[in-house]
Amino acid sequence: MNFFERQDQARRASRRLVFLFVLAVIAVVAAVDAVVFFVLSQAQAHSSGFVQPLPQWMSDNTATVIGTSLVVIGIIALASLYKTVSLNGGGGVVARSLGGVRVSADTTDPAERRLLNVVEEMAIASGVPMPEVYLLEEEKGINAFAAGHSPADAAIGVTRGAIDTLNRSELQGVIAHEFSHILNGDMRLNIRLMGLLFGLLVIALIARIVLRAAPHRRSRKDSGGAIALVALAVFVIGYVGLFFGRLIQAAVSRRRESLADASAVQFTRDPTGLRNALVKIGALSAGSSIRNPEVDEVAHMLFAPGVKRLFATHPPLLQRLRDIDPHFDPAEFERVGRQLRERGTAGDAESLRAGAAARGLHEGAAALGTIAHLVGNPGTQHVRHARSIRESLPEPIVLAARHPVTARGLLMCLALDPDPALRERQRAAIAREFDAASIEQMASLQPVVDVLGPEQRMPALMSAFPALRQLAREDRLALLSSLNSLPRDDSHVSLQSYVLRKLAQVHLHDALDASAPSARLTLRAVQLEAHVLLTILARQGHDTETDARRAYEAGMHFLYPHERPAFRDVQPWAEALDRALARLDRLVPAAKEQLIEAIERTIAHDRKLTLAEAELVRAVCATLHCPLPPLIG
């Protein structure tokens, strides 16, 4: 299943979630109405000695039933809306609710440093901004999660037990699993699920409050019957909402978790890392448990079950292991547990790897494949390439990316045009909006930025986003405004500066606006925008008019074999491309896949791909929310 099929599946799962939620609300309302009928009929029987049949009672008390139903629906709707709005702050809100503390980029803890390095390498390999990383310090079980609305506001949370117990390969397998949730569109679905479920769970919370308050009424003469009725109402109303909430979590989550395991294996091309992490969960007494009382709300987000309960949110551990290793022997749990107890939490990684290899698992080498196939599907070679890039970044760049103010300066330095005259105009515009200390910091950083290699610039930009998210919302809006208003020469736009500015604009905007773009357009509706995109790509990647025309026709004929706009120049190209991409982003996933295949036919027409051309394609794909790994090889 490719990226576009997974996105389409996530959209269908989202619609199924809404349908299940509506059914659950109807069930809760029916339960409340039944309790109201019971309480009022008992009160009537107590006063008059006569109980009306249900149909007659409903007919005589229609206003009561409607009023009760509307109150319950209103409570659920307001609670869901409140929770959804509170989650607009992105994945960090979820991580902090579980007691997570953001891992500082300056950490000297070796385990935390290793975690940051693994996450950064995965981000570079995936073509997405570096997520915020949170550590659940008090949790000894092995677990993790990814939360957020989009890659631009994502956060990855990892327990202390995971980073202390897992070796680098196993940690990489767990992080790859979480990145698959980021790439597959699961995070937005999970956040939406949290918001909707809170509306159902709030009924249980209200019921719990009523139950706690009920004993205080014992002093009243009618306390015995009232307390019994209140207790019954609490049991029915509270647990109906809780039952349906957990049922929906399980229905939506289990398949996505199986898909994330498969994607993680494909990501790393090394099944032993994920496999051995799951083995250690089964071998340790703490397993994957999370003790924080808020765990129920995020149970569907976790790498492994955080709490044992009816309607499990994950497939059984043994099933997950056998999906990866069909010959897995459960006796390995005891053997690994004994090794961990004898040798410390680091365990015997080499023997585990050897045991997996003996069962037929091996690290596969994957071909690069087509560009459309690569979208959302990075492989081992991309992770290795990402690690070499991360290690090659100059120390001043690494330090600047770690702190909000210096990260802002780094972003602006990367966005400056290489043309000296235009750069001076851009610096003058920046000087009018930034304080003197920021300008001085940028001046000291600019020489280091200018000598970065072309392949280092995009990773340097992406590494700055966790720090940029620490800026106040007003400061991020001001930064985006400054970026958008930078002077530019429409007659001679630098491809390098356009790519970096476009990436920064897209990810800053996504982090500020949690709403997803409406994906409803078909290829027929965007013929002019496709013409603009493929014309510009053909012009940028080919030297002669004839070659550019042929490249354009190769891509457009794939999309529109019968009738299409004629090849003609587009100027100013940067402004036209911005407008075209904004509309193309609203294509349905299947149409985006076809568009990217057309892009490949255009840029591959001359059988050459320059680094600048490759980076432009990655910027285009990022704008279309189709993250593309580095086009290496």
Alpha-carbon dihedral sign for residues 280, 283, 284, 288: positive
- Residue 341, C-beta contacts closer than 8 angstroms, at least 6 positions apart: none
Q: Cα-Cα-Cα-Cα dihedral of 493, 497, 502, 507, to 10°?
A: -170
Catalytic residue selected from 112, 121, 170, 178: 178
What amino acid is encoded at 63 in this protein? A
Residue 190: other Cβ atoms inside 10 A: 26
Residue 425 and residue 497 in contact, taking contact as beta carbons nearer than 8 Å:
no
Residue 388: other Cβ atoms inside 10 A: 11
For 244-253, letters b (16+ CB in 10 Å) and e give bbbbbbbbbb
Residue 449 and residue 412 in contact, taking contact as beta carbons nearer than 8 Å:
no
DSSP characters over 214-276:
GGGGTTSTTHHHHHHHHHHHHHHHHHHHHHHHHHHHHHHHHHHHHHHHHHHHHHHS-HHHHHH
Q: Round to whole Å and give the CA distance between 50 and 113.
A: 73
In the numeric block, which tokens belong to residue 76? Answer: 């659920």
Residue 454 and residue 632 in contact, taking contact as beta carbons nearer than 8 Å:
no
For 355-370, letters b (16+ CB in 10 Å) and e give bbeeeebeeeeeeeee
Unique residue bearing structure tokens 């009306």: 52
CA 248 to chain centre: 20
Residue 476 and residue 508 in contact, taking contact as beta carbons nearer than 8 Å:
yes
- Is 440 a known active-site residue? no
Unique residue bearing structure tokens 């500020």: 512
The backbone region for 607, taken as left when phi is positive above 0, alpha when psi lies in -120 to 50, beta otherwise, is left
The helix (run of H) or strand (run of E) holding residue 155 is strand 155-159
Helices 110-126 & 168-184, crossing angle to 10 degrees? 40
Residue 222: other Cβ atoms inside 10 A: 9
Q: Round to whole Å and give the CA distance between 92 and 66.
A: 40
How many residues can be counted in the chain? Answer: 633
Unique residue bearing structure tokens 């987000």: 301
Q: Cα-Cα-Cα-Cα dihedral of 557, 561, 562, 563, to 10°?
A: -40
DSSP characters over 596-618:
HHHHHHHHTTTS---HHHHHHHH
DSSP characters over 452-488:
--HHHHHHHHHHTHHHHTTS-HHHHHHHHHHHHT---
- Three state DSSP letters for 539-552: HHHCCCHHHHHHHH
Unique residue bearing structure tokens 């794909």: 621
E-assigned strand segments in 55-137: 101-102, 132-136
Q: Are strands 155-159 and 144-147 parallel, antiparallel or unpaired?
A: antiparallel
139 CB burial (10 A radius; 0-12, 13-18, 19+): buried
CA 585 to chain centre: 18
Q: Which residues are catalytic?
A: 178
